[in-house]
């Protein structure tokens, strides 16, 4: 009987979601499939890897399509993403990114990567200003969410929007530096830093496609606003940050549900492993990653 090789998350593989993201079998499938394609492995090993990848899709629910085409389609998407990344443009406007706050002045900006209040503890490469840039359809949808919430005494506090590819590379460098454990108590108290690279921090992020936003809700009483309790801070590398985590209080669950409902009404889909992470569906530019700085 043939023994299946023990596959580990290939650390050099892009993950098509967030740079800061929790692991999932479905996304392992992308990685396994691509690893098999990249590796100079035998045809038999490649076949086994693709089979493993196909089975990894089972719990994710591709009920209406056959498994093999799903894997093939995802591989094709990854290949397109790799080959169409934007490299030459150097300003946001030229690639269609707009300032979301110009469309929704009520957005509260708390752009963590433009300062030092983040898991790296320093401003992140590519962030020269605390701005929320998004492709216009995503910015417009976010503005509609903001208007809707305002009538309920709520507002949006935004942590991150479009993220340059160079910022993601900065995250990867930080994750590889095991000497720097300064932010462990706040951001990954239950994990060894060695677990972050690959499983939680990947070499590409959906944020670089310009239609993903990280955010939370605030309740306003007159001029005073305070963030709602979501159970974990933003960018908390832990299963408790999963949107439907069981180990949060009913109040925290209710707050997460409220954010999700508001975002879904305008077409944003939550990434189930991070309560703060939303992507407009369908994405305006699903195959294109940007690296223009945020200025």
266 is catalytic: no
Token pair belonging to 9 = 């998350």
Dist CA 158 CA 119 (whole Å): 16
**Binder among 18, 118, 232, 243 for Zn ion (CB under 5 A):** 18
3-state helix, strand, coil split of the chain in percent (to 5) is: 40, 15, 45
* Contact positions with Zn ion (CB under 5 A) in 275-294: 277
Reference 20, options 187, 186, 227; nearest CA is 187
Reference 97, options 89, 108, 105, 107; nearest CA is 89
Closest approach, Cβ 161 to Zn ion, in A, equals 9
* Contact positions with Zn ion (CB under 5 A) in 175-234: 214
DSSP letter string, 66-118 = -HHHHHHHHHHHHHHHHHS---S--SGGGGTEEEHHHH-TTPEE--GGGSS-S
Closest approach, Cβ 50 to Zn ion, in A, equals 29
Instruction: Give the range of 17-25, 135-143, 146-154, 254-262 binding Zn ion by CB under 5 A.
Output: 17-25
Is 207 part of any known ligand binding site?
A: yes
95 or 211, CB closer to Zn ion? 211
70 or 243, CB closer to Zn ion? 243
Cite the DSSP H helix spans in the chain.
25-38, 43-56, 67-83, 100-103, 136-150, 165-176, 184-187, 250-265
# chain residues binding Zn ion, by CB under 5 A: 3
Closest approach, Cβ 159 to Zn ion, in A, equals 8
Is the Cβ–Cβ distance between 214 and 160 less than 8 Å? yes
- 146, 218, 266, 274: the active-site residue: 274
Token pair belonging to 123 = 């401003």
Instruction: Give the range of 13-21, 179-187, 241-249, 281-289 binding Zn ion by CB under 5 A.
Output: 13-21
Instruction: Give the range of 99-107, 140-148, 234-242, 273-281 binding Zn ion by CB under 5 A.
Output: 273-281
Annotated binding site: 207, 214, 277
Which residues are tagged catalytic?
A: 274
Q: Which residues bind Zn ion (CB under 5 A)?
A: 18, 214, 277
Annotated binding site for Zn(2+): 207, 214, 277
């Amino acid at each position: 009987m043939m023994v299946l090789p023990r596959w580990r998350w290939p650390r050099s593989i892009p993950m098509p979601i967030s740079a800061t993201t929790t692991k999932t079998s479905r996304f392992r499938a992308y990685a396994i499939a691509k690893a098999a394609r990249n590796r100079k492995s035998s045809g038999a090993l490649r076949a086994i890897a693709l089979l493993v990848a196909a089975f990894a899709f089972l719990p994710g629910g591709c009920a209406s399509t056959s498994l093999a085409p799903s894997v093939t389609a995802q591989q094709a998407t990854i290949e397109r993403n790799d080959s169409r990344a934007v490299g030459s443009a150097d300003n946001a406007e030229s690639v269609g990114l707009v300032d979301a706050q110009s469309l929704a002045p009520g957005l509260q900006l708390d752009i963590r990567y433009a300062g030092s209040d983040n898991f790296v503890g320093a401003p992140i490469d590519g962030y020269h200003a605390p701005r929320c840039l998004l492709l216009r359809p995503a910015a417009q949808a976010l503005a509609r969410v903001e208007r809707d919430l305002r009538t309920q005494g709520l507002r949006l506090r935004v942590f991150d929007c479009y993220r340059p590819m160079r910022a993601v590379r900065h995250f990867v460098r930080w994750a590889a530096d095991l000497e720097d454990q300064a932010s462990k108590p706040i951001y990954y108290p239950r994990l060894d830093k060695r677990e972050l690279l690959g499983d939680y921090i990947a070499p590409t992020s959906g944020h670089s496609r310009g239609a993903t936003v990280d955010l939370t809700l605030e309740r306003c009483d007159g001029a005073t606003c305070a963030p709602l309790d979501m159970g974990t801070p933003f960018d908390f590398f832990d299963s408790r940050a999963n949107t439907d985590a069981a180990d949060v209080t009913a109040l925290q669950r209710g707050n997460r549900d409220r954010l999700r409902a508001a975002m879904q009404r305008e077409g944003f889909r939550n990434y189930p492993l991070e309560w703060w992470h939303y992507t407009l569906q369908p994405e305006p530019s699903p195959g294109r990653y940007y690296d223009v700085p945020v200025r």
